[in-house]
Amino acid sequence: MTHALILALALGAALLAWLELPRLARALGIAAAVLFLAVGYGLLARPLLALQDGYDSEVHSWGNHNAIILLGAGQTLTDRGTSEPAIFGHSRFLKALQVYHACKQHSADCKIIASGGDNHHYGRSEAQLFGALLASVGVPADDVLIEDHSRNTWENAKFSAAFFDHHRFDRAYLVTSGFHLPRATRDFAHFGVPTTPVRADYRKPSLAPWPLANNFFLTDIGLHEHLGMLRDDVYNALGWYDKPTQPDLL
């Protein structure tokens, strides 16, 4: 996202120079250089990723009937032709497993809702992949609910909410990356599922004497989340999204 904008500015500067418009070319060139440095040194990532601050990575209270919602982060197709959780997926899986085991120490009814479809047509959804991984580490099949139709966070919330019509959960714990929690909790609340957010990972830009690719990556993540929330606000205002649902937890 940011690298495309920088490239567009640089190409625009080159075009303006070719058209013999030196002042405009210089202005675009300076803008491209400033943006490159600001992104590469993490100056933009820091404020953009402030949305992950304030969330706890542990659960301190439990209900009688608990839902642990595990959101996917994409899949990667390996050289063996099998799929694995993409970046951020492993940390979310591990945190959901930790929350599940902690839940079992306090309550008999703890279920994991694994949510995520097969966007890349690998033959197995993210939810099914998580389900297999959970089974491989001893989580009983009866404690895993699979939601394998969603293509994005909004649909994660929409389709996972259906489980709350059949299971009388009194607590819902939403496990995902810290930067993803503000948007995800809003989407679940929209569909009548108030959640306790649980941060699976926390990302910070790196400091170095030179611009780093990781800072470009984190800047794009922050932009993606802010633009996603803006899109949700616009779509809701235009009536393009489902109407809000009242909370239905016990």
Write a three-state SS string for 171-217.
EEEEEECHHHHHHHHHHHHHECCCCEEEECCCCCCCCCCCCCHHHHH
The predicted pLDDT at position 155 comes to 96
| Cα 144 from Cα 131, distance rounded (Å) | 7
- Where do the domains of the chain lie? 2-50+204-236, 57-203
For the ranges 80-94, 120-134, 235-249, which has the lowest average pLDDT?
Answer: 235-249
Residue 245 pLDDT: 85
What is 57-203's CATH topology?
A: Rossmann fold (3.40.50)
**Mean pLDDT value of segment 169-191:** 97
Q: In this model, does residue 13 exceed pLDDT 80?
A: yes
pLDDT of residue 188: 97
Label residue 96 by pLDDT band (50, 70, 90): very high
Which tens digits make up the pLDDT trace of 113-166?
Answer: 999 999 989 999 999 999 999 999 999 999 999 999 999 999 999 999 999 988
pTM over 0.75: yes
Per-residue pLDDT at 249: 57
| The pLDDT of residue 242 | 87
Closest CA to 148 of 180, 124, 176: 124
Q: How many CB atoms lie within 10 A of CB 135?
A: 12
> Which tens digit of pLDDT belongs to each residue from 187-205?
999 999 999 999 999 999 9
Q: Return the bridge partners of 197, or none.
A: 174
| 22-44 pLDDT, tens digit each | 999 999 999 999 999 999 999 99
Lowest mean pLDDT among 8-22, 172-186, 236-250: 236-250
pLDDT for 78 equals 92
Helices and strands (H and E) in the chain: how many: 8, 7
